[in-house]
Each structure stands twice: as structure tokens, then as C-alpha cells.
DNA sequence: AAGAAGTCCTGGGCGC
DNA sequence: TGCGCCCAGGACTTCT
């Protein structure tokens, strides 16, 4: 599941390969992946556009193009974006192939077909659904500890769903929300407005530390994730609670428990994470 | 109006 | 053995 660290890693790997290149064409095998404009217009508009730079906003990957256009890519759960040599066998579930003017390709694959790709004028970014309502990036200078504490008090909901709410803070998904709460020693069901200043600070620090470490380890490959070169990350070996049901807590030795919260599988240590 | 629930999708795992 | 049910989950839509 590409969350912030995975999208950041894809961005960094593609950054060394594709800026300066231009699109020569695009093959769309599954039209519904192209959200807007309509697939036909999408493939008509893209050729000739040069890749200027890559950006990440939350879990969105933005590819800035010439003529003030932006390619917006969201990988959702199983999306992959891999820079490939033309003679590499096409992986199963490849839905879109972007052809580049150096003969190489950018391939979009997505087993569950939830991901979406759009091509919009840069001036439309601010009103683009999802992007426009995005909360601050955890590494944005505006995302200060004081800001976080203020926002936390405004909400009345459980911590886990709150961390997953992209309009609250952008970039966390199911894996890192579990890891963050474990590091902060806070129970996922804890109500956000009941946190003491000390606990809120701890949560703030945990968000940045966990994401930082995950980026340093090139993301988490539990099922599908690979970076822009097709390589797996390493953070799945460093997870402390997620996907570790029944295994001993690294602090207290008691078994990690899997609960269901807000319709999502949630891993925690009930002993170390107090309600 | 904010929060909760339903929706999309497919391969793998499990139960009978 | 083999079929088929159900689950995973990000973010948008719909409901309360």
C-alpha cells in the first residue's frame, strides 16, 4: 500500500531517470484508470510534453510537464509506477504504458485497479478533488507541533481513523498509522481531544520519526509495493506491530493483537498502548 | 456539519 | 481435492 514513504521513494527513484524526457505516446489498456480528461483526450494531449520535475503531496505523485500541465497519479492500494526498458517483459496487471523519447517506458500497473491518473492544467491543481482538501504534509514547515496540538483538539474521533483522515494530516495509511500509535504508546481507540499536551507532543514526534525511518528504508513492501525501479523496500523488516499478530511485543513480550477499527485491520499491543 | 458506513476490485487464503 | 466465499484497504460518495 503506497503511503507517504513509498510515494516519496518512487518520486526519488524516478527523479534520477525521467526529468528532461518527453512523452511520445501512451497506451491505455484499462481506460477507467484515466480519471480526466477522457482517455482519448488524455492520450491526444500528452505526446510532446516534457517532464520538468516531480513532486509529492501526501500520497499523490505530481509530474510537472511543459505547457503548465501536471500529471496527477494516485496509486491507492496496489498501484505501481515503474521505469522500464522497452524489452522488459510487461508485468501482469499493467494498465497504462507511457512511452518516452529515449525509448524507455513508464509503466502503470495496479492489481486492484483503484489507482487513478489525471492530466490537468497547473491552475486547476488547487481545485482538484482530493488534492484541494489535503491536510498538511508531516514534513511541511507549517506542520508544527503547536499547529498539530490545536488541530487535535478540534476533532472528536478515535486516533486511528483521525490519522487516516487525509484532510487532517496527509500521507499516513493503515500501516504507518499503526506504527505511529505504537511508538507514541497510544491506543488506536483513544479519543483525539482527550490527549494531554505531553501525549500530543509524543504523537507529533512519532508521526515524523516513523515516516522518516520508513523513507530511509525505502518504504514497506508487504504485498505489492515496489519503487520506480521495480525494487522492494526494507521497512517491512522493521515494523513493530503491523502484520505481526500473535508475535511478541518488542517492549513487553506480550502478543500483538489484531483488532477491527473503522473497518480497518488494526495491530496494537494492548499492554503498551493505554486507552 | 462532522463522523460513520458503503463502495469499488481481484488474488489469495481458508473452510467445507 | 476443489470450489467458492470472503477479506484486504484509500478515498470518494452517501447516509445519519
- b/e per residue A25-64 (b: at least 16 CB within 10 A): ebebeeeebbbbeebeebbebbeebebeebebbbbbbbbb
Q: Is pLDDT above 90 for A130?
A: no
Question: Looking at the domain assignment, is residue A139 inside a domain?
Answer: no
For residue A2, give the nucleotide whose C1' atom is nearest its CA.
C10
Do residues A121 and A152 both lie within one domain?
A: no
Distance CA A271, CA A241 (A): 13
Asked if A180 and A122 sit in the same domain, the reply is no
Provide the domain limits for residue A193. 145-268
- C-alpha to C-alpha distance for A100 and A81, rounded to whole angstroms: 14
Residues A102 and A162 both lie in one domain: no
The one catalytic residue in A3, A6, A8, A199 is: A3
pLDDT, residue A139, reads 92
Tens-place pLDDT, residues A83-117: 999 999 998 889 999 999 999 999 999 988 889 99
Domains held by chain A: number: 2
Catalytic annotation, pick one of A56, A59, A160, A244: A59
- Residue A155, CB, less than 7 Å from strand B? yes
pLDDT of residue A215: 95
| Domain stops at, among A127, A153, A169 | A127
In whole numbers, what is the pLDDT of chain A averaged over residues? Answer: 92
Asked whether strand C has any atom less than 7 Å from the CB of A171, the reply is: no
Residue A223, pLDDT > 80, answer no
Burial-class residue A117 by CB neighbours within 10 Å (0-12, 13-18, 19+). Answer: buried
Question: A243 φ, ψ to 5°?
Answer: 65, 25
Q: Specify which residue's alpha carbon is closest to the C1' of nucleotide C12.
A: A130
Residue A93 domain flag = yes
Tell me the torsion sign for CA atoms A239, A57, A152, A206.
Answer: positive
Q: Report the CATH number that the domain containing residue A220 is assigned in CATH.
A: 1.10.8.50
**A162 and A63 within one domain:** no
State which nucleotides on strand C lie below 7 Å from a protein beta carbon: 7-13
Residues A117 and A213 in one domain: no
Long-range contacts of A201-208 (CB under 8 A, 24+ apart): A201/A145, A201/A149, A203/A148, A203/A152, A203/A159, A204/A145, A204/A148, A204/A149, A205/A145, A206/A180, A206/A181, A207/A138, A207/A163, A207/A169, A207/A172, A207/A180, A208/A138, A208/A139
Q: Are residues A155 and A107 in the same domain?
A: no
CA A128 → CA A52, A94, A119, A122, distances in Å? 20, 25, 11, 10
**Which of residues A92 and A21 earns the better pLDDT score?**
A21
User: Is the pLDDT score of A132 beyond 90?
Assistant: no
- Asked if strand B comes closer than 7 Å to A157 Cβ, the answer is yes
**Is the CB of residue A30 inside 7 Å of nucleic acid strand B?**
no
Q: Looking at the predicted structure, is the pLDDT value of residue A149 above 80?
A: yes
From the alpha carbon of A3, which nucleotide's C1' atom is closest? C10
Give the distance, in angstroms, between residue A88 CA and nucleotide B10 C1'.
24
Please indicate whether residue A198 is annotated as part of the active site: no
Catalytic residue chosen out of the listed positions A17, A45, A145, A264: A264
Amino acid at each position: 500500500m503506497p503511503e507517504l514513504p513509498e510515494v516519496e521513494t518512487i518520486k526519488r527513484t524516478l527523479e534520477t531517470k525521467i526529468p528532461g524526457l518527453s512523452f511520445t505516446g501512451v497506451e491505455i489498456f484499462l481506460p477507467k484508470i484515466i480519471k480526466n480528461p477522457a482517455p482519448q483526450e488524455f492520450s491526444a494531449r500528452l505526446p510532446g510534453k516534457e517532464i520538468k520535475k516531480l513532486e509529492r503531496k501526501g500520497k499523490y505523485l505530481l509530474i510537472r510537464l511543459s505547457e503548465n500541465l501536471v500529471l496527477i497519479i494516485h496509486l491507492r492500494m496496489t498501484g505501481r509506477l515503474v521505469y522500464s526498458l522497452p524489452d522488459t517483459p510487461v508485468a501482469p496487471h499493467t494498465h497504462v504504458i507511457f512511452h518516452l523519447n529515449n525509448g524507455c517506458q513508464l509503466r502503470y500497473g495496479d492489481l486492484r485497479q483503484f489507482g487513478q491518473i489525471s492530466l490537468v492544467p497547473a491552475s486547476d491543481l488547487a481545485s482538484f478533488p482530493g488534492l484541494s482538501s489535503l491536510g498538511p504534509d508531516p514534513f511541511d514547515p507549517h506542520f508544527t507541533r503547536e499547529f498539530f496540538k490545536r488541530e487535535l483538539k478540534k476533532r472528536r474521533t478515535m486516533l486511528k481513523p483521525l490519522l487516516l483522515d487525509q484532510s487532517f494530516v496527509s500521507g499516513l495509511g493503515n500501516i504507518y498509522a499503526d506504527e505511529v500509535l505504537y511508538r507514541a504508546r497510544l491506543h488506536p481507540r483513544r479519543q483525539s481531544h482527550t490527549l494531554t499536551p505531553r501525549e500530543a507532543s509524543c504523537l507529533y514526534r512519532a508521526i515524523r520519526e516513523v515516516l522518516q525511518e520508513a523513507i530511509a528504508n525505502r518504504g514497506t513492501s508487504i504485498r505489492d509495493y515496489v519503487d520506480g525501479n521495480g525494487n522492494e523496500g526494507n521497512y517491512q523488516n522493521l515494523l513493530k506491530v503491523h502484520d505481526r499478530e500473535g508475535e511478541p511485543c518488542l517492549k513487553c513480550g506480550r502478543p500483538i493483537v489484531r483488532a477491527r477499527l473503522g473497518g480497518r485491520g488494526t495491530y496494537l499491543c494492548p499492554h503498551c498502548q493505554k486507552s
